[in-house]
Structure 1
Amino acid sequence: MIEEPPTTTQRSAEVERRRAGELARPLTRPAGPIAVYDTVTDGMTGWQFLRTGRWLAYTAAAILFAIICLFLANWQFDRGQQASADNAVVAANFSAEPVPIELALPTLGSYDASQNWQRVSVTGVYLANEELVVRNRSNSGTNGFEVVTPLQLSDGSVFLVDRGWVQPSPTDALNPDSIPRPTSGTVSVVVQLRPSEAPLGTGSTTGNQIQSITLPRIQQTTGGDLYTGAYGLLNSQAPAAEAGLTNTQTSMPVEDVGTHISYMVQWLFFALLGFFALGLAARKVHRELNSDDPEERERASARMRKRARKPFTDEELEDEEIDGFLPLTRWGLSSGTGTGSVAGKTVGPTAAPRVVSPAAPRMALKQDDDAGDREQGD
């Protein structure tokens, strides 16, 4: 006798019954977590595995990692403190009344970090023939040159003044554009002190070009009584300087303190993250070793039921579209012999090796019908 094919309504009803676990097949796998065999932890229960050499090493590694993170966090904290202190010095000096150079720099090598950006007044005569040009100096995102001119004081000592920035020549990027000559005769300038720079670059230079304002090196080249502790960025001048140079610093510089604090917090988070990862790994091993414990099995069932109440993810929908079914665990059913629960209903031992999702009932049911036909043929 040939049976009538099921109608669409009957197929949908069967799908719902499968979802509820009412059309179950015998399973060959045990329910619940499967214990993992490990020669190190074999036979252990509870949290005994934490006393093994392996887990003591894991714990020591987490502690060492945390110590390194704390060291780096403290380093970033110190950098933030230093940046705050530097900002306080700049704020106090940047707009203060100028101090005569004789008081600010009593000797040629004098300079202290607390004098950064201090305003100093100097009177002397520019030595135009000994002017220097510093290469690769950026201004508003454009590389150019800074013009440094020696200023000879009445006592014969020489103080370097950075008169400003000039763009490269339109026809030769390796040389500056036209540089206005310094004011002749005696001038009174107000400058802001900057420390001698570290040597920079090894490229060859031509003429009066230099790579950095490294005062001791310049002193060795030019000779004489040169101030080697600091030089000055021109702030103002009387009589006025000829136009053509751009001031290199028009606003008060401020170091970013927030970045260092942010990095400090990140390193503290990483220190905690190491212990968090260790805890997750220990919990996983604990569940595997204690999979036969009734209390652990009950907790595993509760977690499975909780996962079953969540909406379908994009990954699950994609898997269902390809395979035509989703695992039993998606509905809170065990993948092996034992009991499961769907929507608060306890199901007896078993379940089909797969459960059809509502998105593709026809494909899954056809696969079940084909399997039934094969069984009848046998």
Structure 2
Amino acid sequence: MFVTASLGRWQLSRAAQKEALQALLDQRAAMPALHQRQLPGGADSGMGALSDVVHRAVKLEGHWLPEHTVYLDNRQMQGRPGFFVLTPLQLEGGGGVVLVQRGWAPRNFQDRLQLPPVETPPGLVHLVGRIAPPPSRLYELGGGDSAPGSSRIRQNLDLAAFRTETGLALMDLSVLQAGPRSEGLQRDWPVVNAGVDKHYGYAFQWFGLSSLIALLYAWFQIVRRFLRPRQRPRA
């Protein structure tokens, strides 16, 4: 009983931490969009690390480097499997290179090696997005990054290894491109959520289990003993 109650209190403390995180995320979402010069390592950057700007909106302008486009396989959007399409963007004015998660495209299940038709505009492009960590890794067998450059279709992408492979001055972040569907890509990215409700749900379960244990203890150790008929002493 005491263990389950302690676990319930721990989940409440985690919920309080996540509420503070959610407040920070909401605050950053309401801030004006950063300019690319304000990114960590940029000319006008006052930010020391990715954690200072993650989930902030940002405006970028530069030129796509389509020869380095990568298709991350087994990624879902709205429950449909397909590719996340990633293309480096050479920032205008020599401000480095940002890996842009441009959107999602469906795959051809009859020919799993066929790439989806994605347009990559030439010349100077302007885009708005949200600063994010590099793409999350999926479980894979045999180390899918062991042969870099062997295929544009990959299970995962390690940013440091990709920087070495391409020779590009990639920043230690990525940008989720925002906006309506275009260029053959869908951009219905999930809403950033710290997951506060999950911890309240776990806390409710632990406290409920603690209450059940207390009731069972009271029934078997107190109530049943009180209700049990007393034996009369023999004459």
TM-score when scaled to structure 2? 0.79
**Could you say which residue in structure 2 is the equivalent of 1:222?**
166
* Structure 2 counterpart of 1:143, from 71, 78, 81: 81
* Structure 1 counterpart of 2:21, from 74, 86, 91: 86
* Structure 2 counterpart of 1:100, from 22, 35, 39: 35
Question: CA–CA distance in 2 between the matches of 1:242 and 1:264?
Answer: 43
Higher helix share: 1
- Which 5+ residue runs of structure 2 have no aligned equivalent? none
**Could you say which residue in structure 2 is the equivalent of 1:333?**
none
Is 1:110 the counterpart of 2:40 in the alignment?
no
**1:163-207 deviation digits (Å, cap 9, x = unpaired):** 111111253245432222x22122222220111245433244851
Structure 1 residue 255, shift from structure 2 partner:
4.5
**Could you say which residue in structure 2 is the equivalent of 1:172?**
111
* Structure 2 counterpart of 1:271, from 195, 210, 221: 210
Question: CA–CA distance in 2 between the matches of 1:174 and 1:94?
Answer: 38
Map 1:1-378 → 2, pairs under 5 A: 66-106=1-41, 110-112=49-51, 115-153=53-91, 154-155=93-94, 157-169=96-108, 171-180=110-119, 182-203=120-141, 204=144, 207-228=151-172, 230-235=173-178, 243-249=183-189, 252-283=191-222, 284-285=224-225, 287-288=227-228, 291-292=230-231
Question: CA–CA distance in 2 between the matches of 1:269 and 1:90?
Answer: 31
Worse overlay, 145-154 or 87-96: 87-96
Structure 1 residue 98, shift from structure 2 partner:
1.1
Matched residue count? 221
Structure 1 residue 89, shift from structure 2 partner:
2.8
**1:56-88 deviation digits (Å, cap 9, x = unpaired):** xxxxxxxxxx23212321232133223323332
Q: Tell me if the contact between 1:105 and 1:111 (Cα under 8 Å) persists in the aligned partners.
A: yes
Q: Which amino acid aligns with 1:234?
A: Q
Question: CA–CA distance in 1 between the matches of 2:60 and 2:49?
Answer: 15
Q: 1:98 to 1:278 in 2, by over 3 A?
A: same
- Identity rate of aligned residues, in percent? 23
Question: CA–CA distance in 2 between the matches of 1:278 and 1:74?
Answer: 21
Q: Tell me if the contact between 1:132 and 1:149 (Cα under 8 Å) persists in the aligned partners.
A: yes
Larger radius of gyration: 1
Q: Tell me if the contact between 2:118 and 2:184 (Cα under 8 Å) persists in the aligned partners.
A: yes
Q: Which amino acid aligns with 1:150?
A: P
Question: CA–CA distance in 2 between the matches of 1:138 and 1:87?
Answer: 24
Question: CA–CA distance in 2 between the matches of 1:177 and 1:94?
Answer: 32
Q: Which amino acid aligns with 1:71?
A: S
Structure 1 residue 291, shift from structure 2 partner:
0.9
Higher strand share: 2
Runs of 4 or more consecutive aligned structure 1 residues displaced over 6 Å after TM superposition: none
Q: 1:252 to 1:278 in 2, by over 3 A?
A: closer
**1:251-303 deviation digits (Å, cap 9, x = unpaired):** 74334433321321221222232232222222334555x61369xxxxxxxxx
Structure 1 residue 124, shift from structure 2 partner:
1.6
Structure 1 residue 242, shift from structure 2 partner:
5.7
Q: Tell me if the contact between 1:192 and 1:233 (Cα under 8 Å) persists in the aligned partners.
A: yes
Q: Tell me if the contact between 2:130 and 2:176 (Cα under 8 Å) persists in the aligned partners.
A: yes
TM-score when scaled to structure 1? 0.52
Q: Tell me if the contact between 1:91 and 1:252 (Cα under 8 Å) persists in the aligned partners.
A: no
